[in-house]
Amino acid sequence: MRTAMPKAVGAAAFLLGVLVAAHADGQLHHTDVPDRLRPPPNEAPALMLSAKGVQIYECRSKADQAGPYEWIFVAPEAELFDVHGSKAGRHYAGPH
């Protein structure tokens, strides 16, 4: 049985989601980012990518409980593209 994703990995996945919400001109869509996830003012994104893919979840029995079920995150599967539409990589279980 897989364990829940650590908070740091969840935060990194959220930030990746923010960064992949790019326009073709490289500008980010307006996104409300929680203060705890905002980078310092002297830092800026180094790369803007868009993504097309899925987040995979499985319905499993709750740990140590008979009967109840819950959705458990398994892995992302997404192709990453640069601002010109060229494939730039793949996002998958990891973190990677």
Taking only the tens place, the pLDDT of each residue in 11-64 is 455 555 545 444 434 454 556 778 887 888 898 878 888 999 999 999 998 877
pLDDT at residue 45 in the model: 76
Determine the Cα–Cα distance for residues 82 and 74; give it in Å rounded to an integer.
26
In three-state secondary structure terms, 50 is strand
pTM greater than 0.75: no
- Residue 61 CB: number of other CB atoms within 10 A? 13
Q: Where are the alpha helices (DSSP H) in the chain?
A: 7-19
Q: Flag whether pLDDT at 5 surpasses 80.
A: no
